[in-house]
Structure 1
């Protein structure tokens, strides 16, 4: 039977044998002598060589198998503290919920366990000084996943170009999953981005009912050329990337970059952001109170955003019918600024010949009809929700870069497990369709 070990509080090996705990006393050649860890007066000894106990001397006290289980439990708790992003309180609850009563009775009190978790995490997250410029070296420990796989797959600073530096984190497996995925989603955020960079940008893909982040990027700005460099870096890492669709916010720079690098990809804007854009115009033109107090007004205004659910070739016709409706004619003066905005941005203004000019965002980009037919998400809300959760997990705005990288390493580890579960067939039940709230 192989030798069994647990770790001491200082990380040293302790030998478990015959229900007793032993610590290393001395080594003689290939033989290791272990003495009782319970009492200095106990003469219990174990002599081991390679993977066997070759000599054993009885102990002077009774066994305490529950104490062994306590140490095993604390060892496992420390391991989980390092490898998961579970909050301290949740980790304590999960640890204690699985313990038999005889083991739970010998566990340290919760305050001690909490301090242990925090101490282990502080040690594991010990980091270099926070760099003050983009001209900094990234140690090997921040280039690898928790499993030791390559994680920093692209660094524009590797070519000694530190200005406008881009860092791209992913794994070979994630890129293969991205390649096999037809539908991509992306979003950027600023609060959880390290202070040397402008935004934290992620690319996600659908796996059954889950939308999983596969690529994590630190960008220096929101310029079109920066997004082009990002997508070019992705294609250099995985040349055959070619998504069928790509959902983004209504940001011209990223849309133009996608058109440039993925010319056959259909770009979709997030319906929630379309609705929010309409809502901002309602506020801008002093109609927020009217929207709140007047049920008829709010219903009629919602119909503008609802055009996203009309077939593409029927949108303009439906828009014109809406303008010809009794309510819009009778309230033309009040609605005029809102209609002018919506027509110029989303529909296209009529020229002198009666033809519509191209809008700021084409109908094909913001229309959701085909996505509903294919049961695809019409918003980026899940991606924004992921970013909110990630920001809460970091618990700091503009974190130092080393803690940021440690956090996305933990996130990658968690998502790897989720992907494994999905592949193994543990698929969450599909949610029922719910009513669409247009300006929720």
Structure 2
């Protein structure tokens, strides 16, 4: 006759393993819950806490198809490769969610083979993945690229996201999420080739990103006809960081605080005029900022003999301000902030990352549906910012009629808000 205590113990352990396999709860939490509210006799009969946690981990790994301790070597279960929608017939249907996995085997449903139509000569063995496209990217002329690191699984280098402006609005929609191992030109070129395959023949006319050479080169290699511009906020940050590196006390010195903004205001000068205006402005800087002047000259202005790392046409926001186009990736940065808060955890495992992105995608799709019917999203722009931006536009509208471009830069600098 079976021992009732052993039967109860085995059932308790079976329930624990099932819970581990079907949830993303930590093994320690499941083990603690299993050992709570049981009799002393059963508690003594149960394995040690460490052994139970190990059993939970094994159950999780088996359920997710993980083959060994290499965190790259895992199978994404079918339920994470699709997301569920209700179609026009009020029926549930599964829509592809995982669009690309570089470890995919030929013929495996839901994956695209990395080697197909690839111009890369070297074999690629590092795992990369791309998650959903909602149809916006394929129709949008304006694309935005950015990176986030807090929610990136430890076995990857970055989460790279692509966003697009929705129709003729100022609203950007997240379209693709990519887990990347590296951030070199080869990786970005390969990624954008895959993106091109995913979205078809759509050719974006404009791409806005931060000042990352590898990303810029990779995008240009695949979409050479598109205009690529750098984010004004990232330009401002680069100057601010360099000042900090050189121990310049921006917040404590009025002269330095005012003149540092001149660098940022140079972005509001017409691109073709930037070299001439810079020649007139540079001698006006305080001697303590000479080291920053040399940095800005080398990085963003250049000379005939030594071109800048970033051509003025890349970072001038003159035309974008005139056309009331975005000058920065701030909307994308804000999106990443919201996504990080939604995750509520840093450096999740790859499968937790996919699961949470899939859940968050439901919110993105809901927002998209509302945009399609003309509903305007709620904005949290401060009145102070809106008034300041209106002043910038008024000032830039009289740029051509302004004879003293040096004073124009100084006036625009006065409108550049502090960090």
TM-score by length of structure 2 reads 0.67
Structure with bigger strand share is 1
Residues 159-199 of structure 1 deviation map (CA, whole Å, 9 limit, x = unaligned) = 4888311111113xx2x321211111111112201222211
1:132 aligned to 2:69? yes
Classify the secondary structure of the residue corresponding to 1:149: strand
The offset of 1:127, in angstroms, is 6.6
Aligned partner (choices 147, 151, 168) of residue 97 of structure 2: 151
Residue number among 296, 300, 308 corresponding to 1:342 in the alignment = 296
Q: Secondary structure at the match of 2:73?
A: coil
Tell me the distance in 1 between the aligned counterparts of 2:63 and 2:315: 44
Aligned: 1:224 with 2:185: yes
Which residue number corresponds to residue 244 of structure 2? 283
Give me the CA root mean square deviation.
2.3
Cα distance change of structure 1 residues 362 and 412 upon mapping to structure 2, 3 Å threshold? same
Conserved 8 A contact 1:127-1:403: no
1:227/1:196 Cα in 2 relative to 1: closer, same or farther (>3 Å)? same
Task: Find the aligned partners of 1:394 and 1:303 in 2 and give their Cα distance.
Answer: 39
Q: Higher helix share goes to which structure?
A: 2
**1:429/1:372 Cα in 2 relative to 1: closer, same or farther (>3 Å)?**
farther
Alpha carbons of structure 1 residues 336 and 362: separation in structure 2 relative to 1, 3 Å: same
Shift of 1:227: 0.8
Q: Deviations over 1:75-95 (max 9, x none)?
A: xxxxxxx9xxxxxxxxxxxxx
- 1:244 CA drift (Å): 1.1
In the TM superposition, 1:392-407 aligns within 5 A as 392-407=341-356
Are the aligned partners of 1:212 and 1:415 in contact in 2 as well (CA < 8 Å)? yes
Distance of 1:278 and 1:434 partners within structure 2? 25
Q: Where in structure 2 are the equivalents of 1:16-31 lying within 5 Å? A: none
Equivalent pair of 2:173/2:364 in contact (CA under 8 Å) = yes
Separation of aligned partners in 2, 1:128 and 1:157 = 15
Label 1:321 to 1:211 Cα distance change in 2 as closer, same or farther (>3 A). same
* Larger Cα-atom Rg: 1
| Paired residue total | 301
* Alignment of structure 1 residues 2-401 onto 2, 5 Å: 128=64, 132-133=69-70, 134-147=72-85, 148-159=94-105, 163-171=125-133, 174=134, 176-207=135-166, 208-288=169-249, 291-325=250-284, 328=285, 331-332=286-287, 334-349=288-303, 355=304, 357-401=306-350
Q: Which secondary structure does the structure 2 equivalent of 1:214 belong to?
A: strand
Alpha-carbon separation, structure 2, partners of 1:129 and 1:138: 7
Q: Is there any run of 5+ residues in structure 1 with no aligned partner, and where?
A: 1-81, 83-125, 350-354
